[in-house]
Amino acid sequence: MGIAPNVGMNPFPGEDAGVPAGPPPHSPVPQLEATPRRERIGRWFNSIFRLLVTVLGFGILALAALFIIVLAQGAWPSLLKFGPNFLSTSTWDPVHSIFGVVPFVIGTLLTSAIALLIAVPVSLGVAIFLTEQSPTWLSGPLGLVVQLLAAVPSVVYGFWGFIVLVPYMRLSVEPGLQGSVGKVPGLGGVFGGTPVGTDILTSSVILAIMIIPTISSVCRDSLLAVPRHQREAALSLGATKWETTNFAVLRYASSGIIGAIILGLGRALGETMAVTMTIGNADVIPKSLFSQGQTIASLIANEFTSAGPGSIYQGAIIEAALVLFAITILVNVIARLLVGRVLRVEGGS
Amino acid sequence: MGRFVVDHLNAFYKDKQALYDVSLEFPEKTVTAIIGPSGCGKSTLIRCLNRLHEVTPRARHSGTISLDGREIHEMDAVRLRRRVGMVFQKPNPFPTMTVYENVAAGLKLEGGHPKNEIDQEVYRSLKQAALWEEVKSNLDGPGVGLSGGQQQRLCIARALAVSPEVLLMDEPCSALDPIATAKIEDLIFDLRKNYTVVIVTHNMQQAARVAEYTAFMYMGKLVEFDLTEKLFESPKEKLTESYITGRFG
């Protein structure tokens, strides 16, 4: 700016006479007058704005880095003492200061996996009903209710789970499961033990209930985004209602649906309160679905007050937090790769 | 096979009436064009013919439509739509499917076709849609990877693959350039040997080029229906004459 012999910007062309690239002195003054005020202010504002958003953008990176650094610092005593053994052992003994994170990793992954297993089909069903089957007067209000359910605080779900779901699971569902599928050879172990109500299965069910609204409302949005001409293309080929949904709608929306599932999974992995209130909080590897257990999130919630500052115990809890952080990132990355692959395979648009 | 008779048809969207007492006959194995200004009910009329009109929420109709003597609303809508294919204004191949899968889609939906039969039908349909030469080396490529004109011919092939008797075309060239349009028009001209074709178009030259019969609609009413030549050269109605001479529309 200002370096190039830009005559257009110069109201006094006579002064530029010596510049070789400039026009001959007798040439008329070009139409462009001095930069208008609005334009100058705009340019000034533009650079300020760019600086601002750049700072904000890098600020997020800095925050993430700071977060990891502080966690790593806090976890240092534990990192030093246990090294990689922290990730491969399953004793969690604050009294003798021996810590291994395996039970909680298993608890976290297991409850989230079961929750997804329950929640995904239900959510898909809800979303399909809302967008494809429900009469118009019903789909609006019903969709709103689903979205409202996603906003219920987790402690409310947890409390409801503790006073309603836990006894029901203990008295009806779990003995029922033991008496039926538990009898199938090979599955006895999975449904073994005395049903206590506060266990892996119950907290998985609570998690499922919590992520169903999230997954179904995101799924609903991506089904709504399928253009009408896709549905009509299937219908005009002689597809039934269900075939249209399966053929044109679900396939078109598949990446959005996978995104919804990832979102639900992310919520399930990190959910703390409701799980803490229903999982039984036992620091051991669960032996069956009816075992009490612990997720990383519930471990932290349960024990963060009992560990002294700077102690190895506190270090171990902070390291567990780091592990949860890593699991969440890993799951997200894997899921994203999966989405990319699905899209490539299907040659999506 | 493929003779449509429309009798005193009224169609509505919610409280708005889109068609007023339309009666006409689409003769079999001919191309009939429906022309008229935007919003005159052309699309609504052909969407009634394959009962796609009733899919729109709160849409309804009165009057009768029969296909080869049978009232279509007494038939199974799914079966009717297999006999009456449709091509839409915007090319709408299924984006998650390959060229081959797109054409085979209707047969897959029907079920019960062995692989070699599907192969044959895909070949025949692509050939008929004048697309085979351009895609034969790329059958496994994505359908949406083709150009706009190719995508539209792909959609025509997809409609032809289930061997319908009637092909409805709702402004099939309005999103295409002149070269692609010319290809589709040639194709429509060939199709009339085997199919009853009903084409909605904005383009009067197009109607004159491809259609043996032309219907002119205005404000939801059928104004005139005649041999294309007669309609364009000696229209009976004043309204038709003003429209085709470009005085409005």
For A236-266, write each residue's pLDDT tens digit.
Answer: 999 999 999 988 999 999 888 988 998 899 9
Domain assignment present for B71: yes
Q: Which residue of B has its CA nearest to A342?
A: B96
Quick: pLDDT tens for A4-55: 444 444 444 444 444 444 445 555 555 555 677 888 888 889 999 999 999 9
Domain assignment present for A25: no
Gap from B247 CA to chain A (nearest CA, Å) = 33
The answer, yes or no, to whether residue A332 has pLDDT greater than 90, is no
The Cα-based distances of A318 to A77, A93, A101, A106, B39 in angstroms read 10, 15, 11, 18, 67
- Mean pLDDT, chain A, whole residue set: 86
Positive or negative, the CA dihedral A64, A66, A69, A72 is negative
Chain A residues with CB within 8 Å of chain B CB: 136, 227, 229-240, 243, 247-248, 251-252, 254, 346-349
Candidates A236, A245, A341: best to mutate against B (most CBs of B within 10 A) is A236
Domain assignment present for A300: yes
Residue A303: both structure tokens together: 């024990």
Domain assignment present for B153: no
> Domain residues for B191?
4-92+165-244
Positive or negative, the CA dihedral A314, A315, A318, A320 is negative
pTM (two decimals): 0.80
> Domain residues for A306?
75-178+187-348
Quick: pLDDT tens for A194-213: 889 999 999 999 999 999 99
Residue A254: both structure tokens together: 């598949």
What is the mean pLDDT of the segment spanning B87-106?
A: 93
Domain assignment present for A218: yes
Domain assignment present for A60: no
Q: Does B1 touch chain A (CB under 8 A)?
A: no
Domain assignment present for B104: no
- Contact state of A252 with B96 under an 8 Å Cβ cutoff: yes
- Write out chain B residues lying below 8 Å of A234, CB-based: 94, 105, 109
**Any alpha helices (H) in chain A, and if so which ranges?**
37-82, 85-88, 102-128, 136-149, 154-160, 166-168, 174-179, 200-224, 228-236, 241-244, 251-252, 254-270, 273-278, 296-303, 312-345
Domain assignment present for B154: no
Size of interface A-B (CB pairs under 8 A): 82
Q: What is the total count of domains within chain B? A: 1
A110 confidence band (pLDDT: 50, 70, 90): very high
What is the helix (H) or strand (E) element at residue B182, kind and residue range? helix B178-191
Domain assignment present for A27: no
Q: Residue length, chain B?
A: 249
What CATH number does residue A132 fall under? 1.10.3720.10
What CATH number does residue B203 fall under? 3.40.50.300
Q: What is the total count of domains within chain A? A: 1
Q: What is the pLDDT of residue B154?
A: 95
Q: Does B109 touch chain A (CB under 8 A)?
A: yes
Backbone angles phi, psi at A146, to 5 degrees: -60, -45
Q: Does B85 touch chain A (CB under 8 A)?
A: yes
